[in-house]
Structure 1
């Protein structure tokens, strides 16, 4: 049996799906982006007078993504340390990987305890964001 989880402190999903689903001791998070939960704004995005996106700050978006992942983990009864696998989607790998990797290192300073990670370069995400994370946590792995 599985349980769907909706986190009140995370941005609303952009479709009909839960923030996470728990199956036994595993927690599967839906794709998490950097939108602000209260305003739906995307941190670091800059627009011109016509409303077109002209620039973004990958570091601001990465920090917001990590905050949103923490919110979903907390709502699910999980901790940051429970993360075991993270898939990262970047819309501009060449431009953003180095900066994203630095923010990752701030949040996971010890490679020995960091979750596994795969980073993929993709052409677009469903909203004007530059990064999205897909995470798996193992709740039974707690000491």
Structure 2
């Protein structure tokens, strides 16, 4: 069975040596997707709603902006792969602060998934590779 590697110009570059997604048969597996803006890299913030001081401490933080951005990045990767938002079948959510962010995420998630309701798992993690508060791991059909 052949697998196709997919990279999207409309999503931020991965922070390691991996593609945005891989197609296997009619399934699409997305690598972890964060909220960074396309064209930014791991060394600059490029994170919506986040302003850091010269020591890397948060000066401004807007979790809602990160959620909307991560959904846009997932959508961009899906479309570059020949899939679409409605084809998502499984979403794993990684939150850095479950207590602070879960209810906000759940509210915004419900806006994006009124019709299509993929399976979902939400877990809290200690940290992510860049100063982001959320990352998604998704599976879709093509």
> How high is the TM-score relative to the length of structure 1?
0.91
**Residue 98 of structure 2 is aligned to residue 97 of structure 1:** no
The unaligned stretches of length 5 or more in structure 2 are none
Corresponding residue number in structure 2 for 1:136: 139
Kept after mapping to 1: 8 A contact 2:31/2:138:
yes
Q: Secondary structure at the match of 1:137?
A: strand
- Select 1:116's aligned residue among 106, 116, 119: 119
Give distance in 2, aligned partners of 1:127 and 1:50.
Answer: 14
Corresponding residue number in structure 2 for 1:30: 31
Corresponding residue number in structure 1 for 2:18: 17
**Residue 88 of structure 2 is aligned to residue 83 of structure 1:** yes
RMSD: 1.2
Corresponding residue number in structure 1 for 2:76: 71
The unaligned stretches of length 5 or more in structure 1 are none
Give distance in 1, aligned partners of 2:103 and 2:60.
Answer: 17
Kept after mapping to 1: 8 A contact 2:91/2:138:
yes
Stretches of 4+ aligned residues off by more than 6 angstroms: none
Kept after mapping to 1: 8 A contact 2:93/2:136:
yes
Q: Deviations over 1:91-117 (max 9, x none)?
A: 00000000011110110124xx31110
Give distance in 2, aligned partners of 1:109 and 1:92.
Answer: 25
Shift of 1:10: 0.5
Q: What count of residue pairs does the alignment treat as equivalent?
A: 137
